[in-house]
Amino acid sequence: MIDVKRRDYLVAKALAYAIAAIDTLPEHERPLFDQQDMMTLFDTIVIGEGEHERLTGEARAKLLHEAW
């Protein structure tokens, strides 16, 4: 069984990638309510000081790099 900290980290990482992927879509194609709900959930998961910023930055950088 996966421990709670690991589970929260994996969920936060998945949400960071989902939010970053939505950000890459043209404005008119963004599922706004999904993104807002994902961001709220992402903000409620406590995974450690600075981890939210690190995960979000990492996800955006990888998605932007792979898009080129």
DSSP summary character for residue 50 = T
Q: pLDDT tens digit string along 16-64?
A: 999 999 988 898 888 888 888 998 999 898 788 788 889 999 999 998 8
59 versus 1: which is more confidently predicted? 59
Instruction: Give the whole-angstrom CA distance, residue 4 versus residue 8.
Output: 6
Predicted TM-score (pTM) of the model is: 0.81
Q: How far is CA 62 from CA 2, 16, 18, 37, 53, in A?
A: 26, 11, 12, 22, 14
- Domain locations along the chain: 4-67
Q: Which residues contact 3 (CB under 8 A, 6 or more apart)?
A: none
